[in-house]
Every structure is written in C-alpha cells, then in structure tokens.
Structure 1
C-alpha cells in the first residue's frame, strides 16, 4: 500500500509544472511547496549554489472507493 504523503524533489532540469505532472501520474496531488537554499564552499568561502524545491504530495483517493 502506498504512503499517504511523500516528498517529491524537483529535478535539476525540471520545471515545477513537470514535477507536479510527475506527482499526478504517481497518484499524488501537491499540498505544500518548500524551498531551501543550497550552499557550496568555494575557495574556503560559503557561496549560494542553487535553490532546492520540494513538493509534499498527498495520495489521491479513488472516487469509487467503498
């Protein structure tokens, strides 16, 4: 049985729309979006690298489930 909620991380070359489409194909609908910065150490200095985007997916229930 699949988990009721799961986090989906947006791939590096993926748009938010593509990530949500992937979620829907797997039977999950987005309920929360979370962004956090990713830093790297370059020449001893900490610098901004990119933004990590994750979507929390909630399992969609079947409409005809009894």
Structure 2
C-alpha cells in the first residue's frame, strides 16, 4: 500500500536573505509561513571585469539562502 505523500513541491521552499534584511528577520518570516530551516547555503556573488583585455572575476559579496520544509 503506498504512503500518503503530499505534494512534495509544496513542502519545500527557499528563502533568500536580501540586502536590507537580517538573518533573524528571514528566520521569523519562515516561522510565520509555517516552514522550518533544514539547510543554510552561502553562495558567492562575482563581478566580471576586463583589465588589459583579460576577463577577471572578482568576488563582491555573498548571498545567503535557506532551504526549508513545511512544519508538521
């Protein structure tokens, strides 16, 4: 007999910390929407520049993303 699985797509959501937000604000937003964090990922942000005809890639910041699942 198959398990009663809910639609898994609706059980997961990604929350991104924007420039004007703190991590605490995003965690509060997740809680209000009924989600619980399961993973935190810091993704680097790069800027591509040209110097002397060469392309250079420089890190200019980071983006923090939380993967969350629906609380039961």
Q: Under a length normalisation based on structure 2, what TM-score does the superposition of the two structures give?
A: 0.73
Q: Which residue of 2 aligns with 1:20?
A: 27
Is the radius of gyration larger for structure 1 or structure 2? 2
RMSD, aligned α-carbons: 1.7
Higher normalized helix content (fraction of residues) = 2
Q: Under a length normalisation based on structure 1, what TM-score does the superposition of the two structures give?
A: 0.79
Number of residues paired by the alignment? 61
Deviation at 1:47, TM superposition (A): 1.3
Q: Which runs of 4+ in 1 moved over 4 A?
A: none
Unaligned segments of structure 1, at least 5 residues: 62-66
Deviation at 1:55, TM superposition (A): 0.3
